[in-house]
Chain A
């Protein structure tokens, strides 16, 4: 048997999308006689085909369109085809392809410029109930449940085809995206946010407020302490705290008061809030010491603070004498820091090139490591209790595991002059270092090279640096009396991000990470502009280092094998560990 039958091969005509079930349109010519009985039911389109349209225009007026003509036509169809009676396709029989509206089970029956949508459903995919008919041509019917949202808040369903053949060249395309993302990152890298000016001498120390992100305290070389509001970027309070330098400043863990030490051999405790109207600006307590205190740090949980000078003193806030003081050798200790995680631990660095660790509970020093050059300050990792980083005079930073001091975990080198201060990001993944070379650098904890360098023309030797507690900003105080505020991620967009922005940011970040080893991308990502002094010094030091390395290699080459030990870079800078 031939399919389709000859009468059905004639083009199906309809100007508009079909309004009713399929049979209506598949009326064979053979039954035109029968159909003529119901000719007033014929649709305009069919009328046109049969050429009756023009001749009997009155029919159009008489003919109702869709619904009433179904029963007789259905009968007609049945008579010829044995097609199913039910005009509407039962919902359960609709296959998935129909539902999603994809073009799988659909064929476009077109003739000339007019076209109609119909579905050619082979028998196999049809239910057995259909029975006799070999092939059924039926209209596309859509269930609004499948594409209409229930509420306005629902997401629109967007059909996507993830067939990989439709989306070729994924690697090159992603590569280009990564390249663009990297370039854009460099384009938008504008880290400098604000400069807080007001000090009349170099800023010597900085402190964060433990409870308030917007408040920052700074001590200058003229003994002045200023409290700043970062959101307004102004100074909210000025205190003449000491005569001479303010050597150290720290806030109490609750944020109600802060301590300063100065060259006038005093330790002073101040209220965080300013004095009331008419009150004198006075410290809460003043402790007069015998020697100069060079640093101070407050315990993270208790009313205890530690000062350093000739020895490390641990003070109860309520007493005027230290409850404990610890020394190991006689030298001036430049800084002392409490461990933020295991709070009974302290680290200090002295000018005799050593770093000493103390245990406050057992009132004893624990261990001492002697480096090549003096360590200026140390900072504990806030997420890893036993890790600390030391800022050294030999341009390097050393990250130590305090249980194994003989080898640093990582040597961070990029600075071209002495590193003066270091502070950890609160997430413990990065730290920032301030250097005498008029720049600050951000290092990942596990990388030996910095990922970022910040400098401005007017920024002189950076003496102190702090990473804010929300991990977004960096502050640095420098010689030329300014405190500068930087973004921790140079190209980060500040403020609230929409979800799409966030997704794009994450995607770009991921792409940059994925393609970071590609030479083009690496070059662009690493490119930084540096002031000439730093740039030339870097070149110079590279030459020096290379020469040293060459000499070392030569020495090894020309001496008896094994007689010249090969010392790793990590071990090179450690002189000794004293128990």
Chain B
């Protein structure tokens, strides 16, 4: 105890000493000098007196001087004064004392600031909190939308969902702890090492790696695409070649061959320009071929075949043609090849001649030729043309002239070829169409007629064009073309034309001509091409040719120029016109019949109705079904017939319900709806289907293994939900479906949440504060 006392007094003493040491202008806190306040106050006063003696403006301790009843250190009350306290009043004394500048500044700052709004009431705040929280939660939840949708639409869901992937250790791991011990293993490893096969970690050889690096994905894709394209093209070409190879038509091949020859000759020309020595060699080859031909006499009419044909030629058109072709071939082959320059010269000459002979109008026509080819046009729109020709024959001459001018095919050999090819195509397609349309009788017939006439036409055309390849023909044609303007001027009247056309069937004409040609052939074999050509020419321009053979005089009477020109698309005309007339006649007939019918209408209505009803009743009656089983209950075997008794027994139709219109003589009530079947039929379209056909389709595709392969059957019958027996199915987890679940646990979130003090706690707090 004593010791304590002593210590305390000592402490007090030291405190006093400290106080003395303190700087004078420092205000002292009251609590420090509780022990001896009296002495302290005196000491203070003394200090003040000393400071006032100084005379300088020193900081004074302000003293309270309000006359207020209640003095609180927390707030200012103006109860005693009886008037409201205003901030300005408070500030007034501040002005005088500069020591309160800081306070003043603070107050000013407060003044400049806006008033804080009243806080919302608690319900409102909570609602806002809730809404915000709800929004946040829904956002979190909406990440499940795609998964839920996927699961709903999945063909099959296998539960439990989270499949544990069996962890497959890479081979290197397995290999690392293993060494080759037996000689065999060592040998294998030696081999691997020798071939630089990686034994452990990198499973690719250096080569493979390099190759992998060499080609990027895009490059590889591009490369692959290129290859694919090339392959596709190749396959197309192959298919085309195969198709062409299959074509049996000799003519087609001839045309193709000719085209090739022409191409070759062109190339030869070019070669001449570029590399004359090679060209010469080529020419030599040609020459050789010619010599061979001349030596062999292969294509002349001395052969066995040719002789037989010569005999046949009298009667057979084809034989004649074949002979002609062969001779033409011979001529072609034995013809000496001219040097290109010569040809050109010749051409120039002929053109000059042409210019001399041909009047002005022809040139125009030729210019027209460069435009749409009438043959091509016809090919494309033959049907339209048919109609057009019926309507206005005035337009016909022009295409005809086109054709005339077009027939100088030498200048545009390619076009000619095309035409021929197209002709083939057309013919083939027509044949097909006609085959297809055989059901529809009238159309089919017409088409067939069409096609046949066109065939003839095309044959003719081919023939003429072949012939016109000779140079000589050209001059003559030029002369023939001189007639063209006349043709154009003489607009033929359509009424006159039609009957003429009707009278002269196309085929006969050509046949006659050809027959004559054949006769000529028989007489003078060597001059064969010439008469044919003449014949052709005569056909084209019978009137205007001065050197037309006399045999054709009688025909010329028939064929006048106009007709000829108008029948350049002859098949069309000659066929179309009569059919329309027939139709007209039919119409008339029908009209008449109609009239008769109308006149005698209502004659036999009742009987008709009764008949109809009887038919309906008959139709609605169930048909007999043969249910006899041969061999059942009697001897069996091939050729045995079930006995009549048995047949009588089993050949029965089930008795249907009585008809509703049985007693209604004037009514037919349709009873097509089978009530027995209706019990097994769906009445309303079920929900997910939008159209009955959809539903029917699902029903009509069988599911069973009777109709489907095993694999398809399994696929079709997979159940929608598969569960493993005895396995617990856990709720779906974010990790299962590839989402990242929140790393923080819910618990830790709660504990971190500053709003942990909950509404209830708040309430309790409030109660406390109120109480």
Contacts and interface: CB of A to CB of B under 8 A. Distances in A.
B707 interface: yes
B733 interface: yes
A429 B682 CA distance: 27
Contacts of A177: 704
Contacts of B9: none
A186 interface: no
A154 interface: no
B637 to A, nearest CB: 13
A238 interface: no
Nearest to B695: A517
A413 interface: no
A503 to B, nearest CB: 7
B130 A579 contact: yes
B726 A213 contact: yes
Interface in B716-759: 716-719, 721, 723-734, 745-747, 749-751, 753, 755-756, 758-759
Interface in B195-210: none
A387 to B, nearest CB: 8
Nearest to B759: A327
B144 interface: yes
A386 B141 contact: yes
A145 interface: no
A474 interface: no
B731 A323 contact: no
A427 interface: yes
B142 A403 contact: yes
Contact of A471 (B131, B723, B747): B723
A579 B127 contact: yes
Contacts of A210: 728
A383 interface: yes
Contacts of B717: 503, 506-507, 509-510
B270 to A, nearest CB: 44
B731 A383 contact: yes
A370 to B, nearest CB: 15
Q: Most B CB atoms within 10 A — which of A164, A314, A362, A507?
A: A362
Interface string B706-720: 111100011011110
B756 A174 contact: no
A344 interface: yes
A343 interface: yes
Interface in B548-606: none
B680 interface: yes
Interface string A148-180: 000000000000101010010011011101000
B718 A359 contact: no
A369 to B, nearest CB: 12
B745 A426 contact: no
B745 A302 contact: yes
A519 interface: yes
Interface in B664-701: 679-683, 686, 695, 698-700
B748 to A, nearest CB: 9
Contacts of A199: none
A214 to B, nearest CB: 10
A213 B728 contact: yes
A311 interface: yes
B707 A520 contact: no
A174 B679 contact: no
B137 interface: yes
B130 A367 contact: yes
Nearest to A446: B152
A403 B755 contact: no
B727 A470 contact: yes
Interface in A498-535: 503, 506-507, 509-511, 514-515, 517-520
Interface string A323-367: 111110000000000001111110000000000000111111111
A508 B717 CA distance: 9
Given A316-B747, A470-B727, A506 B159 contact: no
A518 B685 CA distance: 11
A299 interface: yes
Contact of A519 (B680, B705, B727, B755): B680
Given A175-B680, A311-B760, A361 B749 contact: yes
Given A302-B745, A511-B703, A359 B133 contact: yes
A496 B430 CA distance: 68
Interface residues of A, number: 72
B87 to A, nearest CB: 41
Contacts of B308: none
A366 B133 contact: yes
A210 B725 CA distance: 16
A472 B731 contact: no
A556 B127 CA distance: 38
Nearest to A383: B732
A402 B144 CA distance: 13
A342 B731 contact: no
Contacts, number: 193
B303 interface: no
B165 to A, nearest CB: 21
Interface string A292-316: 0000000111111000000100101
A163 B732 CA distance: 46
Nearest to B144: A385
Contacts of A429: 721
B756 A323 contact: yes
Contacts of A174: 702-704
A160 B706 CA distance: 9
Contacts of B727: 470
Nearest to A340: B731
B548 to A, nearest CB: 55
Q: Most B CB atoms within 10 A — which of A213, A324, A326?
A: A324
Nearest to A517: B686
Interface string B136-164: 11101110100010010000010100000
A361 B140 CA distance: 13
Contacts of A517: 682, 686, 695
A384 B759 contact: no
A327 B679 contact: no
Given A323-B751, A325-B758, A518-B680, A469 B729 contact: yes
Contacts of B611: none
B728 A211 contact: yes
A384 B747 contact: no
A382 interface: yes
Given A427-B157, A517-B686, A519-B679, A304 B131 contact: no
Contact of B133 (A299, A314, A362): A362
B707 A470 contact: no
Contacts of B138: 386, 402-403
B129 interface: yes
A314 B749 CA distance: 13
Contacts of B716: 510
B134 interface: yes
A161 to B, nearest CB: 11
Given A342-B140, A403-B142, A507-B703, A364 B129 contact: yes
A324 B729 contact: no
Contacts of B702: 170-171, 174
A383 B151 contact: yes
Contact of A171 (B700, B713, B724, B731): B700
B162 to A, nearest CB: 12
A323 B723 contact: no
Given A361-B750, A387-B148, 16 more contacts: A162-B707, A170-B706, A174-B703, A174-B704, A302-B746, A324-B758, A341-B731, A341-B733, A364-B130, A366-B134, A367-B130, A470-B725, A472-B725, A511-B703, A518-B680, A519-B682
28 contacts: A170-B704, A175-B680, A302-B746, A316-B747, A326-B758, A342-B140, A342-B141, A362-B753, A363-B758, A364-B133, A364-B755, A366-B137, A382-B729, A382-B731, A382-B732, A383-B148, A402-B138, A428-B732, A429-B721, A469-B728, A470-B723, A472-B725, A503-B713, A503-B714, A510-B716, A519-B681, A519-B682, A579-B134
Q: Which 3 residue pairs spanning A and B have beta carbons closest together? A: A426-B729, A382-B731, A340-B731
